[in-house]
C-alpha cells in the first residue's frame, strides 16, 4: 500500500511540475524566428504562426521616382507581398513621383508619422541624418561593381542603417543600383573641364563639395524640375544613376554627352517612421522586413538588370557616351575624394570617424 501511495504522490508531483512549466514553453514558441534560424520546437511554432491573425491597418509608402522607375516596381512588390501575406488585412497605398510632396516633405512626413514608409536616395536623406553622406563620397567604394555592391551587405552598412533611429526613423534596407554618370553639353574628361559649369546635385553637402572640388558650381534643384533646367540651360549638366536617373528621366534627350565616371554607386534607402515600426508586433515587423529586403529588392534588381543595356542603347542613340580611361578616372579621384572625406569628418566628428573606419575596414576585406 505504501508503494502505491508513493507512486501516486510522485505522479501528482510530476503533473504539477509539468503544469508550471507549460507557460515557459509557450513563451519560447511564440518568439519570432528569422527565416534562416532553425526552430527546435517546430510543431509549437507552426501552431503559433497558424493561429496568428494580422491586424488591420493601412501603410502609406511614397517615393520621388517616376511611375516607370525601378523604385515603383519595388514599391508595388512590397504592396503585393504585404497584402497577400496578410490576407488583405494590411493594405499598402503607394504614391510615386512625389505625389505627396518633394523629397524633403516626404522625409519630414515619415519623421512625424504622416507617412509610414519611404524610398529615397541616401543623398536626399542626409539633410536629416548627415552620417548617410558617407555614401556620397566619390571613388570611396571599390571600382569593381560586384565588390562595390557587396559593401552594402557589410556590418558597416548595417551600422549606418541603425543611425536612422536617432532621427525618429528606422532604416529597413538598401536597394543598390548602378554606378553614377554625368551628362553635359561639353565633354568632361578632366577636372579642368568642370571649371565654370553648373551642375545639379541632390541636397548633400558632400555632393556639393564633390562638384566644387572639380571646379564646378553645384546647385540643388528638385528632381522633377531637372529636365527643364537642362533644357533651358539653367544648368550645364547633372550626375545621376544611368538607369534610374539619366534614362528614366530622359536627361539624355537634352544633353550632348554622357560621361561614364563611375564616381558613386547609386542606391535607394528604404526607411520607416520609428514610432510606427516599433509599435508593430514581431510578426508584422518581420513581414515588413521581408517585403522590403526580399520581395521589393528582388523586383528592383530585376528591373535594374533589364534596364541597363536598354538604357545604354537609348542614350547612345541620342548623345555621345564617353568612357574615361583609368588615368582619367584616377585624376578625377585625386581631385575630389579626399576633400569630400575631410568634409564628412569635419561635419560629423567622432561619430563620422567611427562610420568611416568601419567602412574602411570592411572594404579592405573585399579587396
Q: Can you give the pTM of this predicted structure?
A: 0.85
What is the C-alpha separation between 203 and 221, in angstroms, rounded? 8
Note whether residue 264 is domain-resident.
yes
Tens place of pLDDT per residue across the chain (367 aa): 433 333 333 333 333 333 333 333 323 233 333 333 334 333 343 334 568 999 999 999 999 988 988 999 999 999 999 999 999 999 999 999 999 999 999 999 999 999 999 999 999 999 999 999 999 999 999 999 999 999 999 999 999 999 999 999 999 999 999 999 999 999 999 999 999 999 999 999 999 999 999 999 999 998 889 999 999 999 999 999 998 889 989 999 999 999 999 999 999 999 999 999 999 999 999 999 999 999 999 999 998 888 888 999 999 999 999 999 999 999 999 999 999 999 999 999 999 999 999 999 999 999 8
What is the C-alpha separation between 265 and 250, in angstroms, rounded? 20
Note whether residue 2 is domain-resident.
no
pLDDT digits (tens, 9 = 90+) for 103-130: 999 999 999 999 999 999 999 999 999 9
Cell numbers at residue 111, please? 519623421
Question: Phi-psi category of 179—alpha, beta or left, where left has phi over 0 and alpha has psi -120 to 50?
Answer: beta
pLDDT of residue 305: 82
Of 76, 60, 142, 59, nearest to 303 by C-alpha is 76
pLDDT of residue 289: 98
Question: Phi-psi category of 97—alpha, beta or left, where left has phi over 0 and alpha has psi -120 to 50?
Answer: left
What is the chain's length? 367
- Torsion sign (Cα): 146, 246, 207, 104: negative
CB atoms within 10 A of CB 296: 30
Q: Tell me the sheet residues that pair with 272.
A: 117, 170
What is the C-alpha separation between 306 and 317, in angstroms, rounded? 18
Q: Is residue 6 exposed (0-12), middle (13-18) or buried (19+ Cβ within 10 Å)?
A: exposed
Note whether residue 328 is domain-resident.
yes
Instruction: Identify the three-state secondary structure at position 158.
Output: helix
CATH code, domain with 83: 3.40.190.170
Total number of domains in the chain: 1
Instruction: Identify the three-state secondary structure at position 34.
Output: coil
pLDDT digits (tens, 9 = 90+) for 18-43: 333 333 332 323 333 333 333 433 33
Q: DSSP secondary-structure letter at 247?
A: I
CA 225, chain centre distance (Å): 23
Note whether residue 15 is domain-resident.
no
Note whether residue 99 is domain-resident.
yes
Note whether residue 103 is domain-resident.
yes
Cell numbers at residue 310, please? 536598354
Question: Phi-psi category of 119—alpha, beta or left, where left has phi over 0 and alpha has psi -120 to 50?
Answer: beta
pLDDT of residue 51: 87
Structural domain of 359: 54-366
pLDDT of residue 50: 65
Q: DSSP secondary-structure letter at 139?
A: T
Note whether residue 19 is domain-resident.
no
Of 261, 251, 267, nearest to 331 by C-alpha is 261
pLDDT of residue 308: 83
Cell numbers at residue 302, please? 530585376
Instruction: Identify the three-state secondary structure at position 361.
Output: helix
CA atoms within 13 Å, Cβ hemisphere of 7: 4
Note whether residue 17 is domain-resident.
no
Cell numbers at residue 365, please? 576585406
Of 154, 160, 107, 153, nearest to 134 by C-alpha is 160
Amino acid at each position: 500500500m505504501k508503494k502505491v501511495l508513493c507512486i501516486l504522490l510522485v505522479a501528482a508531483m510530476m503533473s504539477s511540475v509539468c503544469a508550471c512549466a507549460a507557460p515557459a514553453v509557450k513563451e519560447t514558441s511564440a518568439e519570432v524566428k528569422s527565416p534562416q534560424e532553425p526552430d527546435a520546437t517546430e510543431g509549437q511554432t507552426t501552431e503559433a504562426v497558424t493561429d496568428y491573425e494580422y491586424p488591420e491597418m493601412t501603410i502609406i509608402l511614397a517615393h520621388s521616382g517616376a511611375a516607370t522607375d525601378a523604385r515603383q516596381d519595388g514599391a508595388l512588390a512590397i504592396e503585393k507581398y504585404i497584402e497577400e501575406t496578410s490576407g488583405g488585412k494590411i493594405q499598402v497605398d503607394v504614391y510615386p513621383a512625389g505625389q505627396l510632396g518633394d523629397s524633403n516633405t516626404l522625409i519630414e512626413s515619415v519623421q512625424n508619422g504622416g507617412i509610414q514608409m519611404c524610398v529615397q536616395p541616401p543623398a536626399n536623406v542626409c539633410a536629416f541624418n548627415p552620417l548617410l553622406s558617407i555614401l556620397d563620397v566619390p571613388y570611396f567604394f571599390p571600382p569593381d561593381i560586384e565588390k562595390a555592391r557587396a559593401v552594402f551587405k557589410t556590418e558597416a552598412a548595417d551600422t549606418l542603417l541603425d543611425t536612422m533611429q536617432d532621427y525618429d526613423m528606422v532604416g529597413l534596407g538598401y536597394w543598390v543600383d548602378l554606378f553614377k554618370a554625368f551628362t553635359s553639353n561639353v565633354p568632361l574628361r578632366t577636372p579642368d573641364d568642370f571649371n565654370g559649369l553648373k551642375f545639379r546635385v541632390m541636397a548633400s553637402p558632400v555632393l556639393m563639395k564633390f562638384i566644387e572640388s572639380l571646379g564646378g558650381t553645384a546647385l540643388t534643384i528638385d528632381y522633377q524640375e531637372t529636365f527643364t533646367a537642362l533644357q533651358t540651360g539653367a544648368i550645364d549638366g547633372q550626375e545621376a544613376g544611368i538607369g534610374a536617373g539619366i534614362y528614366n528621366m530622359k536627361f539624355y534627350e537634352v544633353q550632348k554627352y554622357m560621361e561614364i565616371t563611375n564616381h558613386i554607386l547609386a542606391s535607394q534607402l528604404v526607411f520607416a517612421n520609428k514610432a510606427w515600426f516599433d509599435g508593430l508586433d514581431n510578426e508584422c515587423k518581420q513581414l515588413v522586413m521581408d517585403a522590403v529586403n526580399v520581395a521589393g529588392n528582388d523586383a528592383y534588381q530585376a528591373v535594374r538588370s533589364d534596364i541597363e543595356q536598354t538604357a545604354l542603347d537609348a542614350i547612345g542613340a541620342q548623345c555621345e557616351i564617353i568612357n574615361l580611361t583609368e588615368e582619367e578616372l584616377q585624376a578625377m579621384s585625386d581631385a575630389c575624394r579626399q576633400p569630400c572625406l575631410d568634409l564628412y569628418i569635419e561635419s560629423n566628428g567622432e561619430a563620422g570617424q567611427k562610420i568611416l573606419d568601419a567602412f574602411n575596414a570592411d572594404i579592405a576585406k573585399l579587396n
